[in-house]
């Protein structure tokens, strides 16, 4: 960072630290670009103010990790001093790192929050160069140095300083006190800024190592001086920080500590007015300190997963599937996904939030990471914890980052593989999940070309093989039951299961015991548009185009059809002339057995059901005339006198009946009723 050093005393800042000389207060002006960056971070990078706690706690944790790492080769850094329970230097130094931690103190009266750590701390120059800078952060430089030596040893180190300025989301002024481990007490540093463009730096006396940040809250953020609010934020973002995060016990918070979190000079007096000097200040750890997903699979019980899932989703039921995966190599990350037993209430809400959280080195980044999971798997809940991503992750970063794309691809394959395994090993459980999420998974056939073959093996449908609405038939099941002569997988679409199973198009198939898939989900129309073939078998609608019925007919049957076609030609031509404005063609039907007529879409037209779906969602559907097929064997058709005065009425009636059988609504119902009554009496 570049600043203009004015080196002038600040009359507004008073130094209360002990020093033999009057300290010099330096006032620095942020470079124009840095001021713009600060505004961007405050107003754009962070959309939720509470993340300031996440950032400061994350920085504090990283500072302690850095100290622990450097102390491996320099034990004196830990022997420098060590905080007591109140966060101040002890009289006896400790030579281990067990006392590393983070302390948070709140002052509701003064509306302030203090976060202190006993980590590595910073020197005067490091404060000026590194604090809050994205372009050059202290830890970034540290990582570069360590990567040249032992890259495997520094995987726990975060990017210190990246989110420091998130303090100004809630602060009217921020004071930072710090001293680098291993430096004299007289080389402490005090940094103060209100975020408006300048900050002051001065050298102060500081007995303890580490960093202390005092945030004076602005008028809109006073809630963050309340204990319950801070605890809830820590539980959400930082519960898994490995270091203990401590707060004063509730009864002592207001009267045992000053605004800086240290013990008051006069302990609270009892009724006799005597100070309670021997009563220790009691702190309590408020984080669990362990990320469940970072443990080995064998060390996590089903009960552990159920409790974590409940805390993650507020779902009272245990998850149906738990998918825990650790990836190591060029990329390192952990994924933990849960499939709820019941579909979330907002599964079909277009504005619903996704359920995948993003962590970076156990630091919570986002709880709606849409780029980590495709839309058709939006019911999955869980998280991804990466060691490779930076902490300052923006929405644009997630959309354009190759590592995010790789994690997404691998996560999708893992979830689909678990579904496939479940379908093979526990049919009943898979069918229960399909009932909840089948319509959503079908969307994957449209959205996810890369995994289309895998998803095609997972999809389930209703069919004429079983007379029930349950979608339990796979495409593999269908193929195993196909006659040797059958060339296609047949299906019919409708707006409901009852309409599909009652379709007149099914009649010839039922008569010849040929299975037909009954598709009644709205998404099915798009599914069959994208899944046109499976295992070298084409998918064929029985309500579109000509049917190749060679597999159903013998030689004698074909000869008989030709004779009927010749005999019925006058009636067909009559119907064409009467219905020329309503139909594309009229022809004799090979598919009808019990019904007198049906409507068929041309091979490349949308079909009536698809038209109705598009109209229902407010989209314009291309208008295409259907084809009317009539059954020459039906008694009603046989009795029509092609030269009689009622021939026109019969043509219109058979057209309207066929439309009703498809689930369409008539444009003029009263005219249909009058026509039918005339023919009944006539």
Compute CA distances 314 → 173, 284, 363, 366, 560, whole Å: 37, 26, 21, 18, 67
Task: Give the pair of three-digit tokens for residue 568.
Answer: 């019925």
Please say if the pLDDT value at position 161 is more than 70: no
Residue 356's closest CA among 308, 292, 312, 394?
312
More confident residue, 509 or 316: 509
Average pLDDT of the residues in 359-378: 84
The band of 139, judged by pLDDT with boundaries at 50, 70 and 90, is very low
Please say if the pLDDT value at position 575 is more than 90: yes
- Please state, in angstroms and rounded to a whole number, the distance separating the CA atoms of residues 354 and 369: 7
132-146, 350-364, 377-391: which range is least confident on average? 132-146
* Residue 507: Cβ within 10 Å count: 18
Q: How does pLDDT run across 420-434, given as a tens digit for each residue?
A: 999 999 999 999 999
Q: Which percentage of the chain shows pLDDT scores above 90?
A: 47
Q: Are strands 585-588 and 627-630 parallel, antiparallel or unpaired?
A: parallel
Average pLDDT of the residues in 541-559: 70
CB 155, CB 206: distance < 8 Å: no
- Strands (DSSP E) contained in 19-170 are 26-30, 102-107, 112-117
Which residues are CB-contacts of 137 (< 8 A; sequence separation ≥ 6)?
A: 130, 159, 160, 161, 162
Please say if the pLDDT value at position 57 is more than 50: yes
Average pLDDT of the residues in 562-576: 88
Q: How does pLDDT run across 261-298, given as a tens digit for each residue?
A: 444 444 343 433 343 555 667 899 998 877 889 888 99
- Please state, in angstroms and rounded to a whole number, the distance separating the CA atoms of residues 91 and 70: 23
Q: What pLDDT is stored for residue 74 in this prediction?
A: 85
CB 479, CB 496: distance < 8 Å: no
Residues in a beta bridge with 384: 335, 358
Half-sphere exposure of 600 (CA within 13 A, CB side): 26
Q: What is the 3-state secondary structure (H, E, C) of 419-477?
A: HHHHHHHCHHHHHHHHHHHHHHHHCHHHHCCCCHHHHHHHCCEEECCCCCCCCCECHHH
Please say if the pLDDT value at position 83 is more than 70: no
* Residue 423: Cβ within 10 Å count: 18
347-356, 364-373, 630-639: which range is least confident on average? 347-356
Please say if the pLDDT value at position 14 is more than 70: no
More confident residue, 334 or 562: 334
DSSP string, 138-165: HHHHHHHHHHHH-GGG-TT---TTTTGG
Which residues are CB-contacts of 55 (< 8 A; sequence separation ≥ 6)?
A: 162, 163, 164, 166, 167, 391
Q: How does pLDDT run across 620-655, given as a tens digit for each residue?
A: 666 778 999 999 999 999 999 999 889 999 999 999
Q: What pLDDT is stored for residue 130 in this prediction?
A: 73
Task: Give the pair of three-digit tokens for residue 681.
Answer: 């009496």
Which residues are CB-contacts of 82 (< 8 A; sequence separation ≥ 6)?
A: 89, 90, 93, 94, 99, 118
**DSSP-assigned letter for residue 266:** S
Q: How does pLDDT run across 291-325, given as a tens digit for each residue?
A: 889 888 998 999 889 988 887 887 889 999 999 99
Please say if the pLDDT value at position 40 is more than 80: no
């Amino acid at each position: 960072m570049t600043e203009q050093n004015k080196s002038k005393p600040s009359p507004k800042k008073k130094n209360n630290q002990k020093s033999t000389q009057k300290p010099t207060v330096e006032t620095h002006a942020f470079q124009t670009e840095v001021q713009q960056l600060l505004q961007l971070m405050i107003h754009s990078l962070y959309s939720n103010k509470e993340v300031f706690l996440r950032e400061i706690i994350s920085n504090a944790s990283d500072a302690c990790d850095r100290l622990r790492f450097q102390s491996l080769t320099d034990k004196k850094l830990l022997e420098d001093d060590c905080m007591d329970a109140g966060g101040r230097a002890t009289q006896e130094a400790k030579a281990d790192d067990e006392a590393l931690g983070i302390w948070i103190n709140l002052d509701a009266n003064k509306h302030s929050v203090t976060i202190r750590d006993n980590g590595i701390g910073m020197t005067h120059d490091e404060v000026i160069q590194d604090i809050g800078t994205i372009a050059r952060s202290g830890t970034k430089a540290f990582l570069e140095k360590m990567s040249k030596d032992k890259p495997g040893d520094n995987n726990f180190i975060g990017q210190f300083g990246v989110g420091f300025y998130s303090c100004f989301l809630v602060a009217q002024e921020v004071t930072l006190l710090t001293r680098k481990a291993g430096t004299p007490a007289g080389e402490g540093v005090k940094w103060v800024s209100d975020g408006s463009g300048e900050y002051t730096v001065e050298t102060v006396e500081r007995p303890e190592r580490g960093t202390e940040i005092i945030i004076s809250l602005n008028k809109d953020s006073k809630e963050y001086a309340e204990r319950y609010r801070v605890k809830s934020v820590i539980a959400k973002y930082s519960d898994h920080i490995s270091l203990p995060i401590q707060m004063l016990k509730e009864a002592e918070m207001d009267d045992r500590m000053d605004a800086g979190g240290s013990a008051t000079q006069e302990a609270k007096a009892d009724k006799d007015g005597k100070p309670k000097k021997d009563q220790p200040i009691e702190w309590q750890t408020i984080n669990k300190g362990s990320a469940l997903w970072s443990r080995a699979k064998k060390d996590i019980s089903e009960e552990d997963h159920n409790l974590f899932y409940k805390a993650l989703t507020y779902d009272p039921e245990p998850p149906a599937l738990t998918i825990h995966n650790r990836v190591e190599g060029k990329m390192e990350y952990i994924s933990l996904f849960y499939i709820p037993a019941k579909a979330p209430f907002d599964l079909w809400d277009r504005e619903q939030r996704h359920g995948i959280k993003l962590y970076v080195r156990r630091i919570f980044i986002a709880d709606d990471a849409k780029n980590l999971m495709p839309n058709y798997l939006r019911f999955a809940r869980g998280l991804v914890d990466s060691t490779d991503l930076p902490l300052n992750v923006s929405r644009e970063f997630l959309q354009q980052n190759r590592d995010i794309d790789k994690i997404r691809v691998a996560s999708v394959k893992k979830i689909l593989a678990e579904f496939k395994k479940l379908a093979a090993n526990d049919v009943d459980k898979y069918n229960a999940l399909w009932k909840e999420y089948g319509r959503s998974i079908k969307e994957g056939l449209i959205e996810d070309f890369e995994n289309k073959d895998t998803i095609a093996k997972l999809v389930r449908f209703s069919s004429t093989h079983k007379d029930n609405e349950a979608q339990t038939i796979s495409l593999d099941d269908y193929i195993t039951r196909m006659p040797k002569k059958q060339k296609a997988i047949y299906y019919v679409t409708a707006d409901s299961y009852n309409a599909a199973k009652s379709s007149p198009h099914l009649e010839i198939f039922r008569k010849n015991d040929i299975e037909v898939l009954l598709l009644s989900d709205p998404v099915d129309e798009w599914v069959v548009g994208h899944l046109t073939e499976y295992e070298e078998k084409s998918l064929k609608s029985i309500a579109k185009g000509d049917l190749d019925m060679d597999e159903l007919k013998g030689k004698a049957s074909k000869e008989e059809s030709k004779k009927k076609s010749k005999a019925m030609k006058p009636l067909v031509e009559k119907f064409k002339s009467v219905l020329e404005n309503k139909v594309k063609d009229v022809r004799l039907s090979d598919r009808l057995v019990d019904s007198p007529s049906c409507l068929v879409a041309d091979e490349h037209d949308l079909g009536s059901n698809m038209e109705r779906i598009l109209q229902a969602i407010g989209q314009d559907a291309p208008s295409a005339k259907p084809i009317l097929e009539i059954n020459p064997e039906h008694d009603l058709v046989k009795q029509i006198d092609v030269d009689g005065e009622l021939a026109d009425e019969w043509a219109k009636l058979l057209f309207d009946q066929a439309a009703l059988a498809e689930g369409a609504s008539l444009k003029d119902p009263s005219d249909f009723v009058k026509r039918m009554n005339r023919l009944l009496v006539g």
